[in-house]
Chains A and B, each alone.
Chain A
Amino acid sequence: MVERMLCGSGLSDEPSPGPKFEKGMSGQSGPADFRGHMLDLDEDEDLEVFSKTETRQDNIELSSLQKECAKDAHGVVSLIQNTSMADGSPMPNSPGSMVNQYRLEEDDEEQKDANFKDLFITVDNPESHVTAIETFIMYRVMTKTTRSEFDSSEYEVRRRYQDFLWLRSRLEENHPTLIVHPLPEKFVMKGMVERFNDDFIETRRKALHRFLNKISEHPILSYSQHFKVFLTAEELLSHKKQGPGFLSRMGETVRAVANSVRGLRNRPEEFTLMQEYVEDFSNKICSVDKVTQRIIKEQKEYLDELKQYSPAYTQWAGSEEELAEPLKGVASCVERCSKETEEQIHHLSEVLVPALHEYVLCAETLKAVMRRRDNIQAEFEAKNEALASRKVDQEAVFSHWFVCFDWQLQEEVDGLADKVELANNALKGDWCRWRNSMRTDLKSAFISTAEKNMEYYEKVSSPLKTNTFFFNHTVKPQNFS
């Protein structure tokens, strides 16, 4: 058992039947172990997910990742049921091989998403709400869907930023090693004078819109019960009250800290590599973001000077006769340059900066995901060591006449072992998806910027090219030798 858990690099293609059978025979795990798990006890989603796999064969979104997730809510029972149907025939795809398949068909998955888009969400219409205690902004969230789990095909609700925060934290709780797209920040440090400044609200609205769309495109997260509630419930407050309370979350954090202090014994190499990548990526994307901000700053200063440059030519033209025309020609070119520079700045701020910023936040999300994965593994290792030392003690005392076996501890360890495997596989699957998404998003932002810059130069030179003075008043015929 211990060996199985420690062979990190390989995929577990087929879950070995041994331990699971044992677990199955033993019964349920204790309630205490569920506190730190990915999935929530109260979650109904897993039941739904489970039932869906039998009826909706064509929905390949419900990959093994979901089935893996489904395991925990019902303890190991559902896992056994996963491996074979009630009538004994094996499930169409075993979880393990599905994971493989899922990992290899990363590109196809994108297309499947595109083809199967059945959930359309928009965030718009920010409105100020004033109460006795506070003022805040409510955004309208509109949903159109053909999914059968939704009672209606259209929904319109109003949500505030806090509601988005709630949604995201629930999603992260339930899927600690999935990569949940980040939300725009609570507030921007620099240059923020007024919280309800129009630009700030618009930037936030766009980011919230992107957030919900990213979730809706995620093969697992989009089926989250919390997500559905967020999109459909008239009033969110009652739903917010459910779920693990503050104390349980505290407990989780304490354990996480304890585990991280203890350190990981043997992190699988692929996750070490992933960790390194995340660190590097975070540095690089932050740098690109900084460079872009700096470019905008320089462009703005350039624009300020340009605005004084054109009038200088115009003023000169006023004193001249023959030269008035070419001077005005240059003046109009400089004016055009001003206008286009302004647009270029706008484009950078609206397209490239938000895209880069999103991935700066993503990098932080990735770091958190890696930490959580590590914690899950650390927790398992701690329990596993405890078990091993217990056995040593017991063996020493009781020798080999009868083996005293701590069933409960063994079960706990096995449960944690499964949890680690689930977490790792979930992350691996989502990792590829995220990498592709990152590549697509940033590629498109860079291309858009390059196109805008090409357009900029074309537009700046066009008044000169069409200016009749420069066209006609060329110099005398050239001497061709």
Chain B
Amino acid sequence: MRMMMADSGSNEEVAVIGNTDITPAESENNIINTVVPLVALCDRNILRFKLPMVERGTALLRKMEISVAEAEKRMGKNTVNIQETYTVYLVETRPAETVPEGGTPAAPDTLWRRYSEFELLRTYLLVTYPYIIIPPLPEKRAEFVWHKLSADNLDPDFVERRRVGLENFLLRVASHAVLSKDKIFFLFLTEEKGWREAVLETGFQDKADSRLKSLSAMFRVKNPDKRFTALKQYSDELNTVISQLLRVRARVADRLYGVYKVHGNYGRVFSEWSAIEKEMGDGLQSAGHHMDTYATSIDDILEEEEHYADQLKEYLFYTDAVRSVCRKHELIQYELEIAAQDLAYKKQQKEELVTGTVRVFSLKGMTSKLFGQESQEQRESRLAALEQSIQEGEESLKEKNRECQEFVRTAWEDIERFKEQKDKDLREALISYAIMQISMCKKGVQVWSNAKECFNKM
């Protein structure tokens, strides 16, 4: 299979900031101060939300390009036979080969998926790979909204942002060393019909139920792994701070919207006022236009900020996945401890039986004291059973120990990978936020500079 030309074997990161499409003329025209090379080539295209480009490090991504190209509304009957409107998303895959000179790119394979199918896929992955931090889906319902956005699932802006989020999810899974190899995931991308059945055939449903049960159960681990404890604590902290940040950000956005929009009133009043003035008329009128421009500029600004919020939200939801891995580890640890405890108890029982001493209270012991010693045969058969049980127990413990260690090893590998990914992604998100702010300020200076010129003509 031909490799992508760009992939020369090294993992290339295409910058979040930086646009290969920008022409030299455009970059010259940019008003942003070249003192800051970071923003020297900034223009609107860059500031438009760009997904953190995932590395083409997996075989899957080397083979195919994946995208969620469109969203469409459908009508259908649901499980209780009621008509409902829902949205479907077009999943596109195309071979990652380069197009030959003068050739046309191959048509992509496409299929439609509902949000609920994405959810099913994710649940399957959660159950099948409990030691992996599974990438989150975009939110089901719009949260942390400020007043302008509607929380309606059918709102086009919401649907669009969800489309981006779903694509992001797929790319994250596809770029994961382990997850990308999953067959069900591959079928999700390639088999529209029959996928659901294939998932159910894996029998993951049973595991899903028991997982849910265990995750919500209350239990205490005697010797908690310090690393996992620290990780869970960090994850909880991260959840709290990002929630708080998103909440406040939404309120700030709401207020800022108000400030900008009120300036639109200047536009109207200046225009009316200019009609009754002679010398002042022109200046007032054109100043009014700039006030209108200022007032409408907030819409784009806040839309871009929404993408920044989405990047933060992704990591907010990631904390749930991290927490889930920690809990799974706790469960395994707990079961290990219980198994060890169990074994120790059995061994103790055996010892008592052999030595004849009763150190541990048992009903059998009591009854035998009361009703007379048991016969030698009885004792021996009991001892044999116990020894059998102990042997099984030891094997089980060994197995559980191995399982636990394996879990810790694989989980920790993924956790390290996740930490790196998180730092990189959030760093880029913060940088792009900073760029957004700088751009917003530039626009602000421009508008008021224009307005000032108009006032000068008054």
Contact = CB atoms under 8 A, between A and B. Distances in A.
Given A287-B269, A478-B20, 11 more contacts: A329-B434, A446-B287, A450-B451, A454-B452, A457-B440, A458-B441, A465-B33, A465-B36, A476-B15, A477-B15, A479-B14
B433 interface: yes
Contacts of A443: 280, 283, 455-456, 458
B430 A329 contact: yes
B46 to A, nearest CB: 10
19 contacts: A280-B276, A284-B276, A291-B269, A305-B254, A315-B241, A322-B423, A323-B426, A323-B430, A330-B430, A442-B280, A443-B280, A446-B451, A446-B458, A451-B448, A457-B440, A457-B441, A457-B445, A461-B442, A475-B16
Contacts of A309: 245, 248-249, 252
B36 A284 contact: no
Given A475-B17, A479-B20, A447 B427 contact: no
A478 B41 CA distance: 10
Interface in B418-458: 423, 426-428, 430-431, 433-434, 437-438, 440-442, 444-445, 448-449, 451-452, 455-456, 458
Given A309-B249, A453-B444, A470 B431 contact: yes
B14 A315 contact: no
Interface stretch (A296-304, A408-416, A422-430): A296-304
Interface in A439-459: 439, 442-443, 446-447, 450-451, 453-454, 456-458
Given A288-B266, A301-B255, A301-B258, A450 B455 contact: yes
B258 A454 contact: no
Contact of A464 (B41, B245, B437, B455): B437
Interface string B379-420: 000000000000000000000000000000000000000000
Contacts of A453: 444, 448
A298 B36 contact: no
B434 A302 contact: no
Interface in B217-253: 234, 237-238, 241-242, 244-245, 248-249, 251-252
Nearest to A288: B269
Contacts of B242: 316
A319 B458 CA distance: 54
Given A322-B427, A475-B428, A446 B438 contact: no
B151 interface: no
Interface of A: 277, 280-281, 284-285, 287-288, 291, 294-295, 298-299, 301-302, 304-306, 308-309, 312-313, 315-316, 319, 322-323, 326-327, 329-330, 333, 439, 442-443, 446-447, 450-451, 453-454, 456-458, 460-461, 464-465, 467, 470-471, 473-481
B256 interface: yes
Interface in B252-270: 252, 254-256, 258-259, 262-263, 265-266, 269-270
A162 to B, nearest CB: 35
B99 to A, nearest CB: 15
Contacts of B241: 312, 315-316, 319
Given A295-B263, A333-B434, A460 B441 contact: yes
A442 B270 CA distance: 12
Interface of B: 13-20, 33, 35-38, 41, 234, 237-238, 241-242, 244-245, 248-249, 251-252, 254-256, 258-259, 262-263, 265-266, 269-270, 272-273, 276, 279-280, 283, 287, 423, 426-428, 430-431, 433-434, 437-438, 440-442, 444-445, 448-449, 451-452, 455-456, 458
B369 to A, nearest CB: 59
A294 B265 contact: yes
Nearest to A458: B445
Contacts of B244: 312, 315
Contacts of B238: 316, 319
A295 B259 contact: yes
Contact of A474 (B38, B276, B279, B452): B38
Nearest to A481: B20
A458 B438 CA distance: 9
Given A456-B444, A470-B431, A298 B262 contact: yes
Contacts of B428: 475
Given A302-B258, A450-B451, A470 B458 contact: no
A284 B259 contact: no
A267 B397 CA distance: 110
A284 to B, nearest CB: 4
A476 B13 contact: yes
B262 A302 contact: no
A350 B283 CA distance: 23
Nearest to B269: A287
B452 A450 contact: yes
Contacts of B269: 284, 287-288, 291
Nearest to A478: B18
Contacts of A294: 262, 265
B273 A288 contact: yes
A277 B38 CA distance: 53
B252 A333 contact: no
A430 B82 CA distance: 78
A287 B428 CA distance: 45
Contact of B17 (A330, A439, A454, A474): A474
Nearest to A281: B276
Nearest to A451: B452
A302 B252 contact: yes
Contacts of A287: 265, 269, 272
Contacts of B259: 295, 298-299, 302
B90 to A, nearest CB: 28
Contacts of A447: 452, 455-456
A454 B434 contact: no
Contacts of B20: 478-481
Given A474-B38, A476-B13, A461 B430 contact: no
B309 to A, nearest CB: 13
Contacts of A298: 255, 258-259, 262
Nearest to B254: A305
Contacts of B18: 475, 478-479
Contacts of B437: 333, 460-461, 464
Residue from A285, A294, A313, A450 whose CB has the most chain B CB atoms within 10 Å: A450
Contacts of B265: 287, 291, 294
